[in-house]
Amino acid sequence: MDNAQIATLFEDMANLLEIRGENQFKIRAYQNAARAIKFAERPLRETWEHGELTGIKGVGKGIAEKIDELFQTGSVDEFHELKKDLPDGILDLLKVNGMGPKKVKLVYDELGVGSIAELKQAAEAGKLRGLPKMGARSEEKILKAIINLEQTTDRFTLGFAGGAANALLEVVRKVKGVSRAEIAGSLRRGRETVGDVDILASAADSEAVMRAFVSAEGVSETLAQGDTKSSVLVERGLQADLRVVEASSFGAAFHYFTGSKEHNVLMRERAVKRKWKLNEYGLFETETDRLIAGETEEDIFDALGLAWIPPELREGRDEIDLAEGGALPHLIDMSDLRAALHNHTTASDGHMTLAELVEQAEKRGFEIVAVTDHSGSLGVANGLTPDRLKKQIDEIHDFNESHDGARVLAGSEVDIRADGSMDFDDDLLSRLDLVIASVHASFEQPRDKMTARVLRAIENPHVDIIAHPTGRLIGKRPPIELDTDRIFAAAAKHGVAMEINSYDLRLDLNDRLIREAKAHGVRFTINCDTHSVSDFDHLPLGVKMARRGGLKARDVVNTLSPGELMKWLRRR
């Protein structure tokens, strides 16, 4: 860690202390230490190695002990203790202009707000103006600051970043002498959005690889070009970094640059306990520098007494304990999916006819295809009237009689009206093989009304799936306000599946909510929400999100055999 990163760590600790309402003298000590480290002329590690930490003005004995712990183990226990029981996104609130630690503490204590998305929801619902020393004007300023932050944050969707990364990866792999090249970073882990792209390669001639990389089609600017690392900008300002590493270190580098930071800290701590050190070059004995492992990730995990951990789980949660205890789940894979259950045709707002949809689904190995065009309320999507839906049901039945391939289900994506009633009556719903219920309007309803609205849909005996349950569009629309504890409990009770929508602007449910729903016993579907042929390409993103949520194949109903799936659909 460099001085700036260490200074940020102590700033975060000071902020967490203030959010927790701790002693002001201790808070000030961490703030002073952060400033001193940030502006120190000498690398802090060098100062530490010479035993001169307390010679820095602002670094006392207590702070010096924390720095010593950091360099010895790779982390500071107090930092993890301060974060314990607080929402993951609470420090992100400080990025919002006008939100200092005191205000973060206020909104968290009074409203339970622990993320920027929740702060925005609270501001939009007028909940901030009733807090001490905050009025309507303060609320308006915070909302504007959040919108500005959303517009200026350099984050990219998985779909966009993945496309750019794969194009660059293909260029690198075609260079003569490249023995291996892979995508790493948060893109490999499947985070909802990514800040940049990391590519690793092992090659006989690194110079040739770098030349090909910086001159690849789509590169708009070369930020740096070196012997082992180059950085470029591609479309929309996405930065991509390429590192060429020795074959003997590829596994170590692949692990290190996949991250996350929290996961890497836990892995380094595990190595330190064995008197080893782990970095991007390999796993070494500390005293002798003897290489223990490094060529493959599997070698490193094995040497540390762990099963190989899938990248999607490497977030510093419980994956180390699971890998040590042999309890890592066998995560769902693309090959497990056997049914496409959320698809639109030209009857509503899709771009494929019924026959074209089935043809494309069969090419991808699907054995069941559900047609789920929109209901009438969604006029902008050319939603079907009851008569048009009845006609479509007959058309699908006729199609099945003359078609020998995938079975086609007659379904509908039915709007959940503002009062929770369904857009079609029960008699028509009972004629469908599959009913997907969705919120497409009145997103601004308060939490209690929105929760009651969705609960009513879940309790409807004809509803099988709740689609894109939070209604969010990444960077464009915040999630609706829901009491997810009640929603997931009801879904489990009534056997209603929650959708993981694979569209890269949705990825809804996200991994955090998937974990919460799974804990309630909810089952899931992973769907493309297909409107055009290219939408099928988003499906791996939904699978990534399911894997991040720890799902196995049996947790997802569209992995069932056709017979099992039809039995599940008739369960109610």
309 secondary structure, DSSP code: P
Question: With helix as H, strand as E and coil as C, how does 149-182 read?
Answer: HHHHCCCEEHHHHHHHHHHHHHHHHCCCCEEEEE
Superfamily of domain 87-153: 5' to 3' exonuclease, C-terminal subdomain (1.10.150.20)
Cβ proximity of 99 and 119 under 8 Å: yes
The secondary structure of 367-416 as a DSSP string is SEEEE-PBBTT-GGGTPBPHHHHHHHHHHHHHHHHH--SSEEEEEEEEEB
Q: What whole-number distance in Å separates Cα of residue 326 and Cα of residue 335?
A: 24
Other C-beta atoms within 10 Å of 375: how many?
29
Q: What whole-number distance in Å separates Cα of residue 28 and Cα of residue 257?
A: 34
* Encoded tokens for 293: 């492992």
Cβ proximity of 274 and 305 under 8 Å: no
Note the residue count of the chain.
Answer: 572
* Encoded tokens for 488: 């997931």
Q: What whole-number distance in Å separates Cα of residue 144 and Cα of residue 87?
A: 23
pLDDT number for residue 235? 83
Domain boundary assignment for the chain: 1-19+26-69, 87-153, 157-244, 259-324, 334-569
pTM: predicted TM-score of the whole model, two decimal places:
0.75
Cβ neighbours of residue 10 closer than 8 Å, sequence gap 6 or more: 30, 31, 33, 34, 37, 63, 66
Closest CA to 105 of 93, 122, 97, 96: 93
Cβ proximity of 332 and 551 under 8 Å: yes
* Encoded tokens for 192: 């909802």
Cβ neighbours of residue 437 closer than 8 Å, sequence gap 6 or more: 413, 414, 415, 416, 422, 457, 458, 460, 463, 465, 466, 467
Query: Which residues on adjacent β-strands are paired with residue 331?
Result: 552
Cβ proximity of 208 and 177 under 8 Å: yes
**pLDDT tens for the chain, residues 1 to 572:** 678 779 889 999 999 999 999 989 999 999 989 988 877 768 898 899 989 998 888 899 999 999 999 999 988 999 989 988 899 889 999 988 779 999 999 999 999 999 999 999 999 999 999 899 888 888 988 998 888 677 646 789 999 999 999 999 999 999 999 999 999 999 999 999 999 999 999 999 999 999 999 999 989 999 999 999 999 999 888 999 999 999 999 999 999 999 999 999 999 999 999 999 999 999 999 999 999 999 999 999 999 999 999 999 999 999 999 999 999 999 999 999 999 999 999 999 998 999 999 999 999 999 999 999 999 988 778 899 999 999 999 999 999 999 999 999 999 999 999 999 999 999 999 999 999 999 999 998 999 999 999 999 999 999 999 999 999 888 767 789 999 999 999 999 999 999 999 999 999 999 999 999 999 999 999 999 999 888 999 999 999 999 999 999 999 999 999 999 999 999 87
pLDDT number for residue 416? 98
Q: Each residue of 315-330: b (16+ CB within 10 Å) or e?
A: bbbebbebbeeeebee
C-alpha distances in Å from residue 338, one per residue of 1, 66, 361, 364, 434: 46, 52, 10, 9, 16
Which CATH code fits 1-19+26-69? Answer: 1.10.150.110
pLDDT number for residue 153? 62
| Summary count for the chain: helices (H), strands (E) | 23, 17
* Encoded tokens for 469: 């349950």
Q: What whole-number distance in Å separates Cα of residue 456 and Cα of residue 471?
A: 17
The matching CATH number, chosen from 1.10.10.350, 2.170.190.11, 2.70.98.60, 3.20.20.140, for 334-569 is 3.20.20.140
Which CATH code fits 157-244? Answer: 3.30.460.10
Nearest 5 degrees, angle CA 436-CA 438-CA 442?
165
pLDDT number for residue 14? 95
Question: With helix as H, strand as E and coil as C, how does 126-153 read?
Answer: CCCCCCCCCCHHHHHHHHHHHHHHHHHC
Question: Is residue 349 classed as helix, strand or coil in its secondary structure?
Answer: coil
Question: With helix as H, strand as E and coil as C, how does 18-60 read?
Answer: HHCCCCHHHHHHHHHHHHHHHCCCCCHHHHHHCCCHHHCCCCC
pLDDT number for residue 150? 73
pLDDT number for residue 555? 98
pLDDT number for residue 236? 80
Sheet with 221-225: strands ordered across? 178-183, 196-203, 239-244, 229-233, 221-225
pLDDT number for residue 384? 96
Handedness of CA 212, 215, 217, 222 (dihedral sign): positive
* Encoded tokens for 553: 């194949």
Cβ proximity of 327 and 507 under 8 Å: no
* Encoded tokens for 210: 């770098």
Cβ proximity of 368 and 406 under 8 Å: yes
Where do we find the tokens 């009845």? 390
Radius of gyration for the alpha carbons in the chain, expressed in angstroms and rounded? 26
Q: Decide if 1-19+26-69 and 334-569 have a common fold.
A: no
Cβ proximity of 437 and 457 under 8 Å: yes
Q: Which strand (E) or helix (H) includes residue 361?
A: helix 354-363
**Assigned CATH topology for domain 259-324:** Beta Polymerase; domain 3 (3.30.210)
C-alpha distances in Å from residue 440, one per residue of 378, 418, 471: 7, 10, 8
